[in-house]
Every structure is written in C-alpha cells, then in structure tokens.
Amino acid sequence: MNKDLTIILLLKGRDAFTLRWFEYAKKTKLPYHVIVADGGNETGLEAELLNKQFHLDVSYEYVRYPYDKSHQLFYQKTLSALHKVQTPFVVLASNDDFYFFDALDYSISFLKENNDYVSSRGEIWDFSISSTLNYDGLFKKNEIYGRLNNLYKLYRDPSVVGESAMCRAIDFSSKRNSIWHDVVRTESIKESYVELVGVGVDDLNLADSLVNFLLATKGKIHRGSDLYMLHQCHEDMTASVICYESPLDWIGVVGWNSDFNKLLDVVARQISDIDQVPFYEAKYKLLKTYYDSILLKDIRNHLLFVREKEMSKYKLTNIAKEVLRGNRVTSILLKMIKGLFDARKPNHQIPSSFVHKITFIQKFLGKSTA
C-alpha cells in the first residue's frame, strides 16, 4: 500500500457511479487508501460495498456524513475528511472519473522533488458514454457502462508559476483550472478548507476559486503532459447542476457580492502575509486581475458564443431552404448540417502514448456484465 497518497472520494448520491468506481479500483488493484465521505440521502451504499466484498481488494474507510443539503455542509464534510488523512499528499476525487496510477505516482514524485510546488497533475480528458439501441429501435440511456466516445482535452493551460504569492495568483487567473483533481500537499489544502469553512462563502464556483487561489499563493502548480485522468460528462455531473445561463446571471445571484468580497479579503490577506505587502494593495491587484482575466473574459466568451449560436441558426435555415428548394434527398441535408457543426469542433488529436490507457477504459466500460 502506497504511504504517500490518500484519495478522498466525495459522494452525494449517484451510487451506481460509486460501484463502478470501486469495480475499477478492484480491477486495477488500487494502491492507495480511500476515505469514502458519503453525504448522500440514501443509506444502502455502505452495505452494498461490503456485500460486493470490495474491502478484500481496496483499502478504504467508509464515513457516513449528514446529508449535503447545503453547500456549507459539503465544505464541512470535505474538511472533516481532510482531517482524517495521514499521508503527505491527497486527491479530492469524484465517483465518475478514472485515474491512472502511473500519473498519480509521477505527480507524487514531482512534489517530493520540488518543494516550491503545492500541487501537480497531468492532462485531463473529457469523455461521454453512447446510448445503446434497444430491440424495439429506441435508444436506451446508460451513463455507467457502454461505448466511450467524444474524447477531448479538458484543459490546455500550462503550469502556474511565479516567485511571489501575488504573481502566482495573477498567473492562476489567466490559467483558471480547478485544482480539484490534483495531487495536493495535504496540509496546504487542509489550511485552505479551514479558511473556506471559517469565512462562510456559499457559492460553489467562488468557493472553488477561493481554495484554488489560496493554494496558488502557497506554491506553484504543476501541469504535466501525461494522461492523468478521464473525466466523464453526463447530466448529473456537478458542473451541469451549478451552471448558469450567462455570467451576468451568476453575478446577479443573491449573496454573490458578499461571497466575492469574502474571497477577496481572505486571499488578499494571505498574499499580504506571504509577500509582506499592504493588504489593500494586494486586494486591489487581486480584484483587478479577477475582473480582467476571469469575469470580463467569461462575459466576452459568452457573448461570442451567443453570437456564434445565432449565426449557426441562420446558416442552418439557409441550408435547409436551399436543399428543399432543389428537391434533393434528405441525406444531403443531414451531411451538410453535420459538416457545419463538425467544422466548429476543435481538433483534439489523441497522443499515441495515451491510446493504451484509453483502450483499457473502453474495455472496462464495455464489459458484458453491465
């Protein structure tokens, strides 16, 4: 058993994903201890894990927490689980992701050799699972097992560097990737969650940003080029639950201003302490970089997306009119529509070194017992 890393599996329902996660851990002989922090409203998962005898192959500790009926309870659950970690490094994990252990080991080794870095990970790629066709000709939705498709690289930003806390905070603003899946120094992320729980930020996006900024002020953030993890996209994933129609809707939510000011105060205070600069100087620079590199960028991207979406509708209507006017077959229309949208998709060439890992996951997801 690896004595360097603990995985905290943070749960709130989706038990079928959790059982799949443990099947994968069993099949791959997971070498790390797992703390299962269950904040769901169902009570049968612990018994189901025991019934399937996962404890014979996976080192884990199941901890039942009160139902995560609020964001604050979720943050408190996470902090409580962090207090149980006995290893120098930790990963906060979701039950719908697939980690590759050689990449985790590399990140551990990197952090051991580079004390000025606070976290590390390789590349994360998104995927989804195709629906299957029933005998009656209807598509059956199965997001647990099936054919893996729609692979694309989730993040493209390089490492966050800088010799001062303020420089790293600014650099992180322009390379805004959540540190949620990283191998992180346990004490650093524990201290960050103590701040989060103490200050009372409620908004999930701002809470994640608060923890990320605090970690960036503590050290550099490493981004490697190996395949670190596959991240599944599906209807019940957290990002789908907390999304807003636009950034303007988000900042208009009741309590956003209060939470945002709390974020600024906590992070600026830490920058002030680390860099020995005046608090208000740190707060002003943090506010400016957040507006310039995050908020205004999100608003600009949203407006461009809306405009592109409207242009696509216009082009699609004209294509349909042209095809129907010429009395041509429907298949031509479908090909033209497909070509229109395929042209808008970024090209995500899968590196040859990733193929064997992806093939392994594909075989696992396509297992006949599903």
pLDDT in tens, 175-187: 878 898 999 999 9
Contact between residue 265 and residue 213 where contact means Cβ atoms under 8 Å apart:
no
User: For position 1, which CATH number holds?
Assistant: 3.90.550.10
- Number of other CB atoms surrounding residue 266 within 10 Å: 19
pLDDT at site 308: 64
Average pLDDT value for the chain: 86
C-alpha–C-alpha distance, residues 203 and 96, integer Å: 22
Residue 329 lies in a domain: no
The first and second tokens of residue 175, run together, are: 């390379």
- 124 phi, psi to nearest 5 deg: -115, 130
More confident residue, 160 or 327: 160
> Domain check: are 85 and 171 in the same one?
no
Same domain, 36 and 153: no
Same-domain status, 284 and 151: yes
Lowest mean pLDDT among 53-62, 268-277, 301-310: 301-310
- Please report which helix (H) or strand (E) contains residue 299, including its range: helix 296-325
Please give the torsion angle defined by the CA atoms of residues 232, 242, 159 and 260, in that order, rounded to the nearest 10 degrees: -170
- 140 and 49 belong to one structural domain: no
Q: Give the model's confidence band at 44: pLDDT under 50 very low, under 70 low, under 90 confident, else very high.
A: confident
| Residue that is last in its domain, among 80, 95, 110 | 95
Answer whether residue 206 shows pLDDT above 90: yes
Average confidence (pLDDT) over 216-225? 96
The encoded tokens of residue 339 equal: 């070509």
**What is the token pair recorded at 94?**
């979701």
Q: Does residue 13 register a pLDDT over 50?
A: yes
Residue 339 lies in a domain: no
Residue 328 clears pLDDT 90, i.e. is over it: no
- Per-residue pLDDT averaged across 164-190, rounded? 93
Residues 189 and 269 in one domain: yes
Q: For residue 116, tell me if it sits in a domain.
A: no
Residues 158 and 292 reside in one and the same domain = yes
**CB environment 89-102: b (16+ within 10 A), e (fewer):** bbbbbbbbbbbbee
Q: What is the pTM of this model?
A: 0.86
What is the extent of the structural domain holding 35?
1-95
pLDDT at 362: 94
User: Position of tokens 């000011």?
Assistant: 261
Which amino acid would we find at residue 296? L
**130 and 46 in a common domain:** no
Q: What is the pLDDT of residue 252?
A: 84
pLDDT for residue 368: 41
Residues 214 and 77 in one domain: no
291 in the same domain as 245:
yes
Query: Is the pLDDT higher at 132 or at 244?
Result: 244
CA distances to 23, 97, 248, 268 from 19, in Å: 6, 12, 38, 42
Any domain includes 338: no
Distance between CA 153 and CA 171 in Å, rounded? 21
Q: Are residues 133 and 74 in the same domain?
A: no
Asked whether residue 143 falls in the same domain as residue 74, the answer is no
- Secondary structure tally for the chain: helices H, strands E: 14, 11
Question: Is 69 a domain residue?
Answer: yes
Domain stops at, among 77, 95, 113 = 95
State pLDDT tens for residues 273-318: 999 999 999 999 999 999 888 888 888 777 776 666 666 555 555 6
Residues 131 and 176 in one domain: yes
Question: Which of 18-22, 170-174, 321-325, 343-347 is the least confident region?
Answer: 343-347
Domains in the chain: how many in total?
2
